[in-house]
Copies of this chain bind each other. A is one copy, B any other.
Amino acid sequence: MFPRVVCSAVGGLSSVAALKSHGGLNSLSVKADECAKEPKYVGDVIKKKVGFPQPTACCKPLRFKDFIISYDSRNRIPNWVYEHLQYDKLFKDDPCDRRVKVERNQCASNEDKDRPKFTPDCRIHGYHRADARDYCDSDYEMGLLAQPENYPFDCEAFCECFTMTNIVPELPGFNCGPWFDLECYIREKLVRENKSVYVCSGPLFLPVTGDDDKTIKCYDVLGDGEVSVPTHFFKVIVIETHDGQLELESYMMPNATPEEGAEVKLEDFLTPLCQIEHHSGLIFFPEKKCFSSNNRRRGARLHAL
């Protein structure tokens, strides 16, 4: 009915009129307030009446003492983990520096002193939370994206790395192989030689061509928590040099054990940022900050997109 449509379109005003006739409103300013309470746009109506669906933690990154995590509540692993590494936090040259190195057993549980305790992240809804039990009886290790070795003198930050929202399933040969080499290269070369280093690490799910020539995405899922196992991982590294320049290096590595005896060269994993952005669904520098890319300078080989 046409008149009813008109009526509903000015619902905000007519309800004010009704209130007015009951002597409840006296001023135009109140009338304006009342109008503001009756949203017109359908999105505002939905938001007010039932609310929008939200991934756990409301799209907001999770704060930790010395790093920050965007959590993927569908896959129960991070979207990305961002760290800011500086020479002074990682190394000590001064013999008078009384800081003491944290050992893994300082984060151990009471039950098993030899193993670090993986703590659940209570900010994540129970439906979307990974649990250490999900990793039992699987081929995968509990890989840490923010690395405790990046916080050697800070017990709190070191132990926070064992929070379940920082954990991803990694094959042991990958975790102790090229991924470990890349982490060491960042610490021992980039952090030592530069003012500071921003490191963003995260998972990727790449498609493959199946037997019937169809393109598919296929990956393992662990435990009752249904933790997705990424096919690849990325590291996007912004290097702040001592003269204040920002330089970029970006890597993509398969979550796979290298062939026995094969020589692993980090340069082989250098990958254009656009390729990582294409696969991850992320834009890394949305404010279009400019960096000179180190990939070409450092890399012997560059994959074309």
Query: A residues near B, CB below 8 A?
Result: 1-5, 8, 41-43, 45-46, 49-56, 58-59, 61, 63, 65-68, 70, 72-75, 79-80, 82-84, 86, 88-89, 92-94, 96-99, 125, 127-128, 198, 200, 202, 205, 207, 214-222, 226, 228, 236, 238, 240, 246, 274, 277-287, 289
> Are A2 and B98 also in contact (CB < 8 A) when A51-B285, A217-B221 are?
yes
Residue from A74, A84, A236, A278 with most neighbouring chain B CB atoms (10 Å): A74
Q: Give the interface SS of chain A, mostly helix, strand, loop or mixed.
A: mixed
Tell me which residues across on chain B come within 8 A of A240, comparing CB atoms: 49
CB distance from A9 to the nearest CB of B (A): 9
> What residue of chain B has the Cβ atom nearest to residue A89's Cβ?
B5
Contact partner, A220, options B61, B94, B98, B216, Cβ 8 Å: B216
- Interface pairs (17), CB distance under 8 Å: A3-B94, A42-B67, A43-B61, A45-B84, A49-B198, A51-B285, A52-B70, A52-B82, A56-B281, A74-B205, A127-B278, A128-B278, A214-B220, A215-B222, A217-B217, A217-B228, A226-B279
- Identify A53's interface contact among B41, B84, B128, B283, CB under 8 A: B283
A93 contacts across to B, CB distance below 8 A: 1
Contact between chains at A282 and B43 (CB < 8 Å): no
- Bound: A2/B69 CA distance, A: 28
Q: Would A221 and B207 be within 8 Å (CB), given that A50-B198, A240-B49 are in contact?
A: yes
A2 near B274 with CB under 8 A, answer: no
Most buried by B among A2, A63, A72, A205: A2
Question: What is the total number of copies of this protein in its complex?
Answer: 2
A241 to chain B, nearest CB (A): 13
**CB atoms of A218 and B217 under 8 A apart:** yes
Which single residue of chain B is at the shortest CB-CB distance from A214? B220
Given contacts A49-B240, A75-B281, A215-B226, 10 further A-B contacts (CB under 8 A): A5-B88, A42-B83, A46-B198, A51-B289, A53-B80, A53-B285, A54-B286, A55-B283, A217-B218, A218-B219
- Bound-state Cα–Cα, A207 to B229, Å: 12
Closest B residue, CB atoms, query A74: B281
A92 touching B287, Cβ below 8 Å:
no
Nearest chain B residue, comparing its CB with the CB of A96: B2
